[in-house]
């Protein structure tokens, strides 16, 4: 069962409703998006690509560690990056260090922790966890032992509580994460995602990360193509729309989004990447 979009809909008080016409629409939109992305090959010097990882390049997995990277994908991303003159960046909620392990031996320009960590072509910007935040992570990890199936992911300057395996704890976990957010203070913010609550550095977003990439080559003066599947990706969709670029929301129909295009699955995203890289 695919729970993510239902969760988003719950947040805005809507219910998912699928019918044949909408499904047909989605298929048409997929085709239109694939066709539009292939235009990239006609003018590779014009575009920069910003890609989310989990749920966009890779299928979502029951636990954060269980994601699988198809063997061909790192090489395809590398070839596509070369075609774009290096203007391809990964923009993820994972830590930068973890993102690097996924696509070895390549190290693409990357924004980690929703933009709190950035490695651009020109340099590195990272945030450190404070002593208080370290203590908070320990307290949260100890508390989570009372919620079987809830997984705590320590990302350094961020921490995520995943409840995909234990949805019955959603309510209590939300309350507890609000409590921890208060304790963390104004430098950290509570971020909701697909079956996850996360405390992340407050002064960062994926949209901010894009603006930072645009300050230097090879991204400068290029038009953004953004692809993502979750709430945190909306800020980069907004930047893409404002700069006259392309925003692609990945996933089943129904999730509210400011993206102008859609692809219905990560598998389709990979097909597009493979085609662009060929």
Cβ closest to Mg ion, residue 29 vs residue 52 = 52
CB of 229 to Mg ion, least distance (A): 4
Cβ closest to Mg ion, residue 229 vs residue 234 = 229
Binding site for Mg ion (CB under 5 A): 52, 54-55, 229-230
Q: Is 86 exposed, middle or buried (0-12, 13-18, 19+ CB in 10 A)?
A: middle
Q: Which residues are catalytic?
A: 52
CB of 160 to Mg ion, least distance (A): 12
Cβ closest to Mg ion, residue 54 vs residue 153 = 54
Measured between alpha carbons, how far apart are the two ends of the chain, in Å? 33
Give the whole-angstrom CA distance, residue 254 versus residue 273.
Answer: 24
Cβ closest to Mg ion, residue 110 vs residue 176 = 110
Give the residue closest to Mg ion by C-beta: 55
Give the whole-angstrom CA distance, residue 127 versus residue 125.
Answer: 7
Angle subtended at Cα 182 by Cα 13 and Cα 117, rounded to the nearest 5 degrees: 85
CB of 19 to Mg ion, least distance (A): 27
CB of 93 to Mg ion, least distance (A): 7
45-58 in b/e burial notation, b at 16+ Cβ within 10 A? eebbbbbbbbbbbb
């Amino acid at each position: 069962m695919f729970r993510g979009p239902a969760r988003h809909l719950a947040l805005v008080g809507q219910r998912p409703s699928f019918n044949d016409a909408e499904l047909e629409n989605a298929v048409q939109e997929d085709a239109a998006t694939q066709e539009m992305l292939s235009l990239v090959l006609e003018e590779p010097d014009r575009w920069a690509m910003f890609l989310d990882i989990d749920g966009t390049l890779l299928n979502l997995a029951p636990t954060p560690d269980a994601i699988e990277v198809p063997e061909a994908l790192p090489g395809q991303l590398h070839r596509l990056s070369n075609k774009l003159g290096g203007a391809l960046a990964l923009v993820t909620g994972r830590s930068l260090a973890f993102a690097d392990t996924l696509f070895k031996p390549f190290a693409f320009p990357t924004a980690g922790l929703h933009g709190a960590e950035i490695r651009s072509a020109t340099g590195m910007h990272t945030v450190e966890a404070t002593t208080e935040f370290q203590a908070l992570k320990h307290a949260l990890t100890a508390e989570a032992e009372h919620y079987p199936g809830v997984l705590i992911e320590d990302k350094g300057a961020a921490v995520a509580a995943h409840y995909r395996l234990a949805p019955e704890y959603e309510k209590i976990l939300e309350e507890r994460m609000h409590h921890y957010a208060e304790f963390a203070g104004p430098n950290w913010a509570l971020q909701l995602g697909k079956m996850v609550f996360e405390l992340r550095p407050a002064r960062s977003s994926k949209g901010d990360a894009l603006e930072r990439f645009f300050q230097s080559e090879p991204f400068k003066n290029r038009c953004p193509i953004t692809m993502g599947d979750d709430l945190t990706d909306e800020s980069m969709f907004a930047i893409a729309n404002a700069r006259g670029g392309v925003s692609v929301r990945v996933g089943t129909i129904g999730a509210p989004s400011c993206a102008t295009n859609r692809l219905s699955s990560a598998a389709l995203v990979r097909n597009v990447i493979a085609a662009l890289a060929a």
